[in-house]
Chain A
């Protein structure tokens, strides 16, 4: 039931927000809402934070473009009211690279899932980070391939059950912030999908920062991953994640590994500067001699 408000406030409220218009509707393709994600899915909250960040950038919406891949998270492109590209599995980053290099005045970001970006797409992530292409990558990590029914992925924790590891996962998951930092990303952060304000702030910083930025979002997948590992509803899962995580800003990315007996480390880990791909390309003529290794270095004892 709506609270009883005075006539004055009711009129003012109605003027600012007519009843069924949500403040984030301007960036949603309203004819596609409600979306396909399960009740309480972390992707929804991450998407909400992303919209908050997009509004705060102050960038003209015509100058923004989102590229996504295949999977539950990849469906974001279909719901964002921007130039949006829903591409093939694992290849969102090179599509975004092509778009950004052809139209550098656009702010291009990738919003996709961990299976898409790091299993099949791992190679592309590595090189775009190495090149320091000026895009932001927002990766929702729900620790499995959700859309196809919950198979094991490169980020499934050891021992977890998935539809293709019915006896438990024998492999070790990736440490995404460490990988991103090692490949040369200039901004690396990780938050829970519940940490909506910190996540929105990180996404905002990533979008405005020149260079390759990476934000990981740990999200519950109650329908696939949660069900097979008896983690309960989305609410139970996010409360569990909240209890089992700790914020350690600035810590070395190697310490952000997700393993048994260790709390999941959240925070902003890397925020540095490196020339972007196009900045370096523009200065090609200034590069010194390419003879390497240098003789004088080789002759040092």
Chain B
């Protein structure tokens, strides 16, 4: 149907494209005006660049090479963040640990988003029995607190990166199911969806090209804020011994090692904690800014 429109009326298609672009521009214009969010964006860019190009800054060996003669040294010109209990360079550990932490957070966010959106779309669009089964199942699923469920999964499958991803996905997809379902319920009553249906568009097409683009704003904001939540959650799991197995550097793991040496080496606590807090703060600032920028009626 819409292909016919494209062929018959290229000008209309042109207009749609133009409109789309200007909306993104409009959001960016509003986002840019928000000073806090811009600070967040700049901070996150610096952090991500530092993590991506970590091997240009310092070698991975520095993060794992042990040297007991310099253990628990305070920060110095040679070791910017000091050294840990094995004499490993803390700066390198924080840097490479950030790679692990952030990539797990991003991957887990994406996979929970995909799983949750798919289930939410099915529940919201088909309604009736399908909706009932999915939502009641979700109710039961959500009755097990996240942390306990994650603990059970890690207990059953063992601690590894893949299992951690599975556990995090299971803890965070529920959000999206509810969100997408409610979006679809409110959007599928609108006239343009009715029009698409009357035009003979199938369910999948309506969901993908008519409903999702309109629900996108809320999903993006939620996903951004989730990245920050997962960074905190994941580090907590590692701290409890349920996340990444040592000796691979990871923020939560570095912090849990710091616990015993807090008295003699508080720098072991300070720097990885700062890394987590700065990253989570900048992601949150961006998320808040996106929410305000995408929801113009909030600003009026």
| A, B co-complexed | no
